[in-house]
Structure 1
Amino acid sequence: MADRPWHHRHRLALDVAIAVFFALFDTGMTLMRTSWWPAHPDTLAWVVLGVQAAACLSLAARRHAPLTVVAVLGGFTLAVSLLISPLHLLTPAHSGNVWAPFATALAAYGPIFYRCNRRTAFVTLVVFTVIVVRAWEPSSTIIMVGLLRTTVGPLLALYFDARNRLVLALTERAERAERERHLLAERARAEERARLAGEMHDVVTHRVSLMVLQAGALRMTANDEATRKAAEDLRAAGCQALDELRDLVGILRTAPEGDQMPSVADFATLVAESAAVGTPVDLTEEGDRSLVSPLVGRTAYRVVREALTNVRKHAPGARVTVRVAYDETRVRLTVRNTAATGTPSSALVGTGSGLGLATLRQRIDVVHGTLSAGPAPDGGFSVEATLPAYVPTAEPVG
């Protein structure tokens, strides 16, 4: 609002100022005998002068009632003409002047520019012109001056109206071209993401699948228990890597039938796992889980899992509170832990890559969510995420 020009923000004040200006200007010009003012003014002349000023003040309503303004000024001009002739109650000092005030020029501009019914506007202006030029008393000078008073305004209005329409059309065309360019760029990015995700999925899945199969074979053929256990751990890690990869490209691919990827329904399992290793967790859920789409549910699961994993590594003995709020448009997650009561194990801390939150932030960016993480005032740590409730995949599910 503040960026708009002053005359757009205060149109009423501007119109009142213009009306006052024309009232004063026409009063002064009339007193200078450029119009109907008599050589020896009487009481009637002063009354008519006051009525003229009031008629000029009607310009304040030229935006909202342009036809009414024309009618007021036309009626005043007709009344003055009748008082002069045939009533002979006024005797102008100069009979060859135009009786209409100069405000008629601006009044004639309104009906065309402010989008009145064109037929009604033209008929009104024709009648207005006949009154101003006093067609019943033909005079070339009066007709010429009167036509200038009543035609310049409508011609300017037609010009400005056409110009505004052209500017609006060009603006709409530019905005449409910008939207189309944005959509084309978005589609190109989506296609490129889908292509890269497909290639990554195909290549990495092939290699990791071979590793999983080889680990499974080693588990079956190994002679000692340690080797079999190591092979089983390797096979399980490979399967989990495949699941993670499938989840990463889930926004671009259709989830398979019977997909059992972890989601919001598995929060209780995470809580139980943390409690089993000595990290008590209080879970609070508000709202309806069914409002959450599968992809968002899996992302929310990753947020909670990563946060609980970091608590176990860096804050032994801390208590954790997990709050989840579901609504129709978003999912809000908050994982907060108190200050640690024990000393973190350097061996356990060293098992991570240090990129857990960074990777989590990238995953949340994919679904257009937000993540904030940082120390809490009580010495603990807080992780807060806001996710959209529904994110469609590139293809409809089954």
Structure 2
Amino acid sequence: MTGTTGATGTRGATRTSGTTGWLEGKQLWERVPAPLVDAGLVALAALDLWLNLSDRTPRGLALAALACGALAVRRRFPLAVFLLTLPATLIQDTLVAPIAALYTLAERSRNRRLLALCATLYALATAIPWPPDHGAGFGRTWTLVDFVYTLATAAAPVLLGQLVQARRDLSQRLVEIEEAKEHERALHAQAVLTRERAQLAREMHDVVSHQVSLIAVQAGAVQVGAKDAETREAARVIRSLSVGTLDELRTMVTLLRASGGDATELTPQPTLADLHRLVASSGIEAELKGELSPTVGTPAQRALYRTVQEALTNVRKHAPGARATVELWHDGTDVGVTITNTAPTRPALPLPSAHQGLVGLRERAEILHGTFESGPTGDRGYRVRMRIPAHAD
């Protein structure tokens, strides 16, 4: 009870120090080569069996050697190795081999029922007297007590293995979250740049182009109405320069309205030909099926591309570990794309989001006189589907 009456600050400092020390020890442990760890574990299990050997018959020695040697491949076949340690556990007084195998299985398996069953099997193999007549005078009560005690002991490697598995999953999710945040920051910066370019393009088109056009018109009027040749020539030069300036302005407005991505920001809008690269670089396990004719209108191609881009981004953020299928299809005069992902294999952590991606896709579909659907599937997956006219403009 003394520990429970300590100061809160002392307990917090002790807990923090202990956690830090454990993490540092874990990092040092992970640096040790796996073959060296396995060899040391096999040697430790052999020493444990040798000191507690109760059955020195050829059968008992063979089962003990099998239990120890199997630990060398426990990382590849955790369940099989654990099952191979049970016969030795039944007839020998061993601890290291089954506990190590049970920890490895818990660290690599997500099946809680299987882990509970394996812990129970280990407790039974330890508590049941062998040979059976050897425990005749031992009593069922003590056998039951031994079983409960061993089952509680088996819970330790199972819980530790699950803790290590959760820590590994958390580390992986933190990396994925950081990558997703970086991707969102890049998209946000690109969106801000696009808005600024669009605003600048409107200003140039509505103000500067209008004024240069007036200069060209006035210069043309002077050129027609002037009486002397020198004035007409000056007006002609002014009008020619104004027309050239208008052409340059139109080119600049076109470039400013183009979506940017790289440093040059002068690349064209994406098309269906860019889908293969988009799917391959999505960062998830994705497959592209079907194809569409290159004669599909540019607005339709751009809409389908943006739909796939948004859907794959959402899969990466909200369904970690899921597989995605991107299917292009055509139906009469309409074309479309369906993106379906399976259920996530790991729990998704809440990520900051404006929840505007799917809304923007629905608005894009309505502008092109198409339809947009999204929603969960029956197997805990998610489906996104867009249909638009092939020659929408």
Give TM-score scaled by structure 2 length: 0.51
The amino acid across from 1:239 in the alignment is V
Residues 1:188 and 1:364: Cα distance change in structure 2 (over 3 Å): closer
Query: Following the alignment from structure 2 to structure 1, what is the Cα–Cα distance between the partners of residues 263 and 76?
Result: 53
Question: Equivalent residue for 1:366?
Answer: 265
Residues 1:215 and 1:364: Cα distance change in structure 2 (over 3 Å): farther
For residue 153 of structure 1, the aligned residue among 153, 157, 168 is 157
Question: Equivalent residue for 1:73?
Answer: 85
Matched, 1:133 2:133: no
Question: Equivalent residue for 1:302?
Answer: none
Question: Over aligned residues, Cα RMSD in angstroms?
Answer: 4.1
Q: Which has the larger radius of gyration?
A: 1
Query: Following the alignment from structure 2 to structure 1, what is the Cα–Cα distance between the partners of residues 36 and 63?
Result: 18
Q: Identity across aligned pairs (percent)? A: 28
Give TM-score scaled by structure 1 length: 0.50
**Partner SS, residue 250 of structure 1:** helix
The amino acid across from 1:70 in the alignment is F
Q: Residue 133 of structure 1 contacts residue 147 of structure 1 at CA under 8 Å; is this kept in 2?
A: no
For residue 43 of structure 2, the aligned residue among 24, 46, 65 is 24
Q: Residue 102 of structure 1 contacts residue 149 of structure 1 at CA under 8 Å; is this kept in 2?
A: no
Provide, for residues 94-129 of structure 1, a one-character-per-residue CA deviation record: whole Å limited to 9, x for no partner.
xxxxx1241221101122221253323322331122
The amino acid across from 1:18 in the alignment is V
Question: Equivalent residue for 1:352?
Answer: none
Question: Equivalent residue for 1:239?
Answer: 243
**Partner SS, residue 217 of structure 2:** helix
Shift, 1:51, TM fit: 4.5
Query: Following the alignment from structure 2 to structure 1, what is the Cα–Cα distance between the partners of residues 103 and 144?
Result: 23
Q: Residue 106 of structure 2 contacts residue 158 of structure 2 at CA under 8 Å; is this kept in 1?
A: yes
Q: Residue 133 of structure 1 contacts residue 143 of structure 1 at CA under 8 Å; is this kept in 2?
A: yes
Question: Equivalent residue for 1:59?
Answer: 71
Residues 1:184 and 1:200: Cα distance change in structure 2 (over 3 Å): same
Which structure is richer in relative contact order (CA contacts within 8 A, separation 6 or more)? 1
Between Structure 1 and Structure 2, the one with more helix by share is: 2
For residue 198 of structure 1, the aligned residue among 178, 198, 202 is 202
Question: Equivalent residue for 2:7?
Answer: none
**Partner SS, residue 223 of structure 1:** coil
Shift, 1:145, TM fit: 7.2
Alignment of 1:301-340 (within 5 A): none
Question: Equivalent residue for 2:188?
Answer: 184
Query: Following the alignment from structure 1 to structure 2, what is the Cα–Cα distance between the partners of residues 364 and 63?
Result: 47
**Partner SS, residue 36 of structure 1:** coil
For residue 104 of structure 1, the aligned residue among 84, 98, 101 is 98
Shift, 1:252, TM fit: 4.7
Query: Following the alignment from structure 1 to structure 2, what is the Cα–Cα distance between the partners of residues 167 and 218?
Result: 75
- The gaps in structure 2 that reach 5 residues or longer are 1-26, 136-141, 269-297, 304-363, 369-391
Provide, for residues 302-353 of structure 1, a one-character-per-residue CA deviation record: whole Å limited to 9, x for no partner.
xxxxxxxxxxxxxxxxxxxxxxxxxxxxxxxxxxxxxxxxxxxxxxxxxxxx
For residue 118 of structure 2, the aligned residue among 95, 119, 124 is 124
Alignment of 1:189-268 (within 5 A): 189-253=193-257
Query: Greater shift after overlay, 122-131 or 235-244?
Result: 122-131
**Partner SS, residue 64 of structure 1:** coil
Shift, 1:214, TM fit: 1.8
Query: Following the alignment from structure 1 to structure 2, what is the Cα–Cα distance between the partners of residues 244 and 7?
Result: 65
Matched, 1:36 2:53: yes
Residues 1:173 and 1:28: Cα distance change in structure 2 (over 3 Å): closer
Shift, 1:8, TM fit: 7.7
Shift, 1:164, TM fit: 3.2
Q: Residue 67 of structure 1 contacts residue 121 of structure 1 at CA under 8 Å; is this kept in 2?
A: no
The amino acid across from 1:20 in the alignment is A
